[in-house]
Chains A and B, each alone.
Chain A
Amino acid sequence: MGAVDIRGVRKSYGDHKVMHGVSIAIPDGEFVALVGPSGCGKSTLLRMIAGLEEITEGDILIGDRVINDVAPKDRDIAMVFQNYALYPHMSVRKNMAFALKLRRLPPAEIEKRVRSVAEILSLEPLLDRKPRALSGGQRQRVAMGRAIVRDPQVFLFDEPLSNLDAKLRVQMRSELKELHQRLGTTTVYVTHDQIEAMTLANRVVVMNAGRVEQVGAPLELYDRPDNLFVAAFIGSPPMNFLQGAVTEDRSGLTLPDGLVLAVPGGVYASAGTPVTIGIRPEHFTIASAGWPVAVSVIEPTGSETQISTRLAGRTLRVLIRGRTAVEPGETIHITAEPDNIHVFDTQTGLRIDRR
Chain B
Amino acid sequence: MSATLTLAGRRRKRPIGRYVRIAGGITACIMFLFPIFWMVLTSFKMPRDIFTTPPTFFFTPTIETYTSYLQHADIPNRMLNTVIVACGAGLISIAAGSMAGYALARIKVKGLATMGALILLSRGVPPIALAVPMFLVARNLGLTDKHITLILAYCTFLIPYVMWLMRGFFKALPEELEESAMLDGCSRFGAFFRIIVPISLPGLLSTLIFSVILAWEELLFALVLTNRYASTIPVAIAGIAGDSVNGANWGALTAVGTLTVLPVVVFALLVQKWLIKGLADGATKG
Contacts and interface: CB of A to CB of B under 8 A. Distances in A.
Interface of A: 50-52, 71-73, 75, 77-79, 81-83, 85, 87-89, 98-99, 102-103, 146, 150
A146 B185 CA distance: 13
B165 to A, nearest CB: 20
Interface in B156-211: 174, 176-177, 179-187, 190, 195, 198-199
Given A87-B195, A88-B199, A89-B199, A81 B185 contact: no
Contacts of A99: 184-185
B136 to A, nearest CB: 44
Contacts of A88: 199
Contacts of A75: 183
Interface size class on chain B is 10 to 19
Given A83-B174, A88-B199, A103 B185 contact: yes
B186 A85 contact: no
A85 B174 contact: yes
A25 B145 CA distance: 68
A85 B176 contact: yes
> How would you classify the secondary structure of chain B's contact residues: helix, strand, loop or mixed?
helix
B180 A85 contact: yes
A155 B136 CA distance: 60
Given A83-B174, A85-B176, A77 B183 contact: yes
Nearest to B178: A85
Contacts of A79: 179-180, 183
29 contacts: A50-B183, A51-B182, A52-B179, A52-B182, A71-B182, A72-B183, A73-B184, A77-B183, A79-B180, A79-B183, A81-B180, A82-B176, A83-B174, A85-B174, A85-B177, A85-B180, A87-B177, A87-B181, A87-B195, A88-B199, A89-B198, A98-B184, A99-B184, A99-B185, A102-B184, A102-B186, A102-B190, A103-B185, A150-B184
A95 to B, nearest CB: 9
Contacts of B195: 87
A300 to B, nearest CB: 40
Given A88-B199, A89-B198, A71 B187 contact: yes
B186 A73 contact: yes
Contact of B176 (A81, A103, A146): A81
Contact of B182 (A72, A81, A83, A150): A72
Nearest to B179: A52
A106 to B, nearest CB: 16
A85 B199 CA distance: 13
Nearest to A14: B110
Contact of A81 (B179, B186, B190, B199): B179
A51 to B, nearest CB: 8
Given A51-B183, A99-B185, A102-B190, 11 more contacts: A52-B182, A79-B179, A79-B180, A79-B183, A81-B180, A85-B179, A87-B180, A98-B184, A102-B184, A102-B186, A103-B185
Nearest to A87: B195
Contacts of A103: 185
Contact of B185 (A73, A82, A83): A73
A169 B263 CA distance: 55
Contacts of B183: 50-52, 72-73, 75, 77-79
Contacts of B177: 85, 87
Interface in B195-235: 195, 198-199
Contacts of A50: 179, 183
B280 to A, nearest CB: 16
Nearest to A78: B183
Contacts of A87: 177, 180-181, 195, 199
A149 to B, nearest CB: 10
A81 B187 CA distance: 19
Nearest to B177: A85
A146 B174 CA distance: 18
B179 A73 contact: no
A126 B85 CA distance: 47
Interface centre among B183, B184, B195, B198 (most CB of A within 10 A): B183
Contacts of A85: 174, 176-177, 179-180
Nearest to B195: A87
Contacts of B185: 73, 99, 102-103
A73 B180 CA distance: 10
Contacts of B181: 87, 98
Contacts of B190: 102
Nearest to A147: B183
Nearest to A103: B185
A75 B184 CA distance: 10
Contacts of A52: 179, 182-183
Nearest to B182: A72
Contacts of A51: 182-183
Contacts of B174: 83, 85
Contacts of A146: 184
A20 to B, nearest CB: 22
B158 to A, nearest CB: 26
B171 to A, nearest CB: 15
Contacts of B176: 81-83, 85
B6 to A, nearest CB: 28
A316 to B, nearest CB: 43
A289 B19 CA distance: 79
Nearest to A158: B176
Contacts of B182: 51-52, 71-73
Contacts of A78: 183-184
